[in-house]
């Protein structure tokens, strides 16, 4: 049922709520959000949905029902535009055309629609994005049907690159199309969790300055890197890991039948407080970080992981440990203490390790294929993880 509130009023309310949440900090980003009729890019959505700050709108689906393309939630659009920091006259590449809404915002931020190129692999997506951009006055945006992992070299170099699909790696083509001191914003995935990471390209490296927890449709093709498999005979508990990790499912099947080892960290969180920072810091120091998922029927008898979609785990040979939590009540109210449950020969050691406090991090990326033309043995796709002793890592994490 359509709301009777006007689009202008709903849009103004949306922007105010986004700003109160700490996004659209830049005046230019706030301005383009206020000026752009988002409902014209999602015509099948109710006005209230189109201007809900926290809701994404799915516009295309695969045959199995999974999301193929969508309009990102407005708060995340604002957050990523803050990260991108567009300046007038910037040449911009967008990977993932979506509805065309984000490209229209980019055209306004840079000042000329013809400086914006948006690429999507699906011709239906690009056709509808082109129609919406033309109808709203931004027909000068270059809408390209093609593999987003290849970028679009004809309009390179780019001062700003933004991806609205999630790559497992930073494709070499993107590196090659960056101008000096360019900024790149991409929702990267590593070790089972995803962040919108903003990088500055300097001296052949990408160095991050901000992160936002987020989830996006995956960049398709060779850029996918997560594997998964069951560790129980009934398929109720699965492990998910990256293809550069040495995980052998055959050594883990039946591991949950072995005795539990439990440790508690002393770290507590409020009921509405996220534990994603714990997981993020863990990826700095440990190559073994992955993700566990469980059917509700398996909880808590078979496994008892912390609630929510993000459930970090560590695998070492035939041993497995995962994050858990227990409810604590005191005069200050309810808190949850983070802990670890482990199974297998190294369970006691792993549970204690998972409970250790981690450092703050800065992400640095360096392209081996773009610079050296080859990869070290065992490094898929030009990326590796946070082994601080490996000087050739194309994606490196360091403590600060």
In whole angstroms, give the CA distance from residue 362 to residue 364.
7
Structure confidence by residue, pLDDT tens digits, 171-223: 999 999 999 999 999 998 888 778 899 999 988 899 999 888 887 778 876 55
Instruction: Report the pLDDT value the prediction gives residue 180, as an integer from 0 to 100.
Output: 95
Instruction: Report the pLDDT value the prediction gives residue 218, as an integer from 0 to 100.
Output: 80
Q: Residue 378 — very low, low, confident or very high, per pLDDT cuts 50/70/90?
A: very low
Q: Inform me whether the pLDDT recorded for 371 exceeds 70.
A: no
Q: Could you give the 3-state DSSP secondary structure of residue 92? A: strand
Instruction: Report the pLDDT value the prediction gives residue 283, as an integer from 0 to 100.
Output: 76
Instruction: Report the pLDDT value the prediction gives residue 334, as an integer from 0 to 100.
Output: 92
Active-site residue flag, 367 = no
Structure confidence by residue, pLDDT tens digits, 47-78: 999 999 998 887 655 555 554 567 889 999 99
Instruction: Report the pLDDT value the prediction gives residue 64, as an integer from 0 to 100.
Output: 53
What is the pLDDT of the chain when averaged over all its residues? Answer: 85
Instruction: Report the pLDDT value the prediction gives residue 372, as an integer from 0 to 100.
Output: 43
Instruction: Report the pLDDT value the prediction gives residue 58, as an integer from 0 to 100.
Output: 75
Contact 106, 96 (CB under 8 A): no
Give me the mean pLDDT over the 338-366 stretch.
80
Domain ranges of the chain: 7-213, 226-354, 361-399
Give me the mean pLDDT over the 267-276 stretch.
83
Q: Could you give the 3-state DSSP secondary structure of residue 185? A: strand
- Of 18 and 218, the one with more pLDDT: 18
In whole angstroms, give the CA distance from residue 287 to residue 212.
22
- Phi and psi at 331, nearest 5°, equal -65, -20
Give me the mean pLDDT over the 284-312 stretch.
87
Instruction: Report the pLDDT value the prediction gives residue 222, as an integer from 0 to 100.
Output: 57
Structure confidence by residue, pLDDT tens digits, 313-349: 999 999 999 999 999 987 778 999 999 999 999 999 9
In whole angstroms, give the CA distance from residue 69 to residue 217.
7
Give me the mean pLDDT over the 291-314 stretch.
89
The CATH class given to the 7-213 domain equals alpha beta
Helix ranges (H only) for the chain are 7-20, 27-35, 47-50, 74-84, 101-110, 123-135, 172-176, 249-252, 276-285, 347-354, 368-371
Instruction: Report the pLDDT value the prediction gives residue 212, as an integer from 0 to 100.
Output: 85
Instruction: Report the pLDDT value the prediction gives residue 388, as an integer from 0 to 100.
Output: 29
- Of 214 and 242, the one with more pLDDT: 242
**Candidates 69, 208, 265, 293; catalytic one:** 69
Instruction: Report the pLDDT value the prediction gives residue 397, as an integer from 0 to 100.
Output: 34
Instruction: Report the pLDDT value the prediction gives residue 279, as an integer from 0 to 100.
Output: 77
Instruction: Report the pLDDT value the prediction gives residue 98, as an integer from 0 to 100.
Output: 92
pTM above 0.85, yes or no: no
Instruction: Report the pLDDT value the prediction gives residue 250, as an integer from 0 to 100.
Output: 93
In whole angstroms, give the CA distance from residue 303 to residue 236.
10
Strand partners, 229: 239
Structure confidence by residue, pLDDT tens digits, 83-127: 999 999 999 999 999 999 999 999 999 999 999 999 999 999 999
Task: Cite the beta strand spans of 270-318 per DSSP E.
Answer: 289-294, 312-316
Structure confidence by residue, pLDDT tens digits, 249-259: 999 999 999 99
User: Which of 15-37 are b and which e, b meaning 16 or more Cβ less than 10 Å from the residue's Cβ?
Assistant: bebbbeeebbebebbbebbeebe
In whole angstroms, give the CA distance from residue 280 to residue 397.
11
Q: Residue 6 — very low, low, confident or very high, per pLDDT cuts 50/70/90?
A: very high
């Amino acid at each position: 049922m359509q709301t009777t509130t006007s689009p202008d009023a709903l849009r103004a309310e949306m922007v105010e709520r986004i700003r109160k949440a700490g996004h659209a900090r830049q005046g230019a980003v706030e301005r383009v959000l206020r000026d752009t009729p988002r409902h014209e890019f999602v015509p099948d959505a109710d006005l209230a949905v189109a201007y809900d700050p926290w809701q994404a709108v799915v516009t295309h689906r695969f045959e199995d029902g999974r999301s193929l393309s969508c309009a990102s939630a407005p708060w995340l659009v604002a957050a990523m535009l803050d990260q991108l920091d567009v300046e007038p006259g910037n040449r911009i590449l967008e990977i993932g055309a979506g509805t065309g809404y984000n490209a229209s915002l980019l055209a306004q931020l840079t000042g000329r629609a013809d400086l914006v190129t948006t690429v999507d692999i699906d011709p239906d997506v690009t056709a509808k994005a082109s129609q919406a951009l033309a109808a709203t006055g931004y027909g000068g945006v270059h809408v390209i049907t093609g593999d987003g992992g290849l970028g679009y070299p004809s309009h390179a170099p780019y001062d700003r690159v933004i991806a609205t699909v999630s790559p497992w790696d930073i494709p070499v083509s993107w590196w090659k199309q960056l101008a000096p001191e360019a900024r790149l914003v991409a929702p990267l995935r590593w070790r089972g969790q995803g962040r919108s990471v903003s990088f500055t390209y300097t001296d052949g490296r990408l160095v991050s300055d901000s992160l936002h927890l987020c989830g996006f449709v995956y960049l398709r093709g060779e850029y996918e890197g997560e594997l998964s498999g069951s560790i129980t005979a009934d398929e109720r508990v699965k492990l998910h890991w990256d293809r550069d990790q040495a995980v052998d499912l055959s050594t883990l099947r039946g591991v949950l039948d072995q005795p539990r080892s439990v440790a508690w960290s002393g770290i507590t969180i409020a009921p509405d407080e996220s534990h994603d920072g714990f997981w993020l810091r863990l990826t700095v120091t440990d190559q073994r970080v992955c993700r566990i998922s469980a059917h509700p029927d398996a909880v808590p008898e078979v496994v008892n992981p912390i609630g929510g979609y993000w459930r970090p785990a560590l695998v070492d040979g035939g041993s497995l440990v995962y994050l858990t939590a227990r409810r604590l009540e005191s005069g200050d109210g309810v808190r949850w203490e983070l802990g670890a449950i482990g199974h297998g020969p190294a369970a006691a050691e792993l549970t204690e390790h998972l409970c250790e406090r981690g450092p703050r991090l800065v992400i640095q990326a360096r392209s081996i294929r773009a610079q050296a033309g080859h990869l070290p043995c065992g490094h898929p796709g030009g990326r590796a993880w946070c082994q601080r002793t490996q000087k050739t890592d194309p994606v490196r994490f360091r403590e600060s």
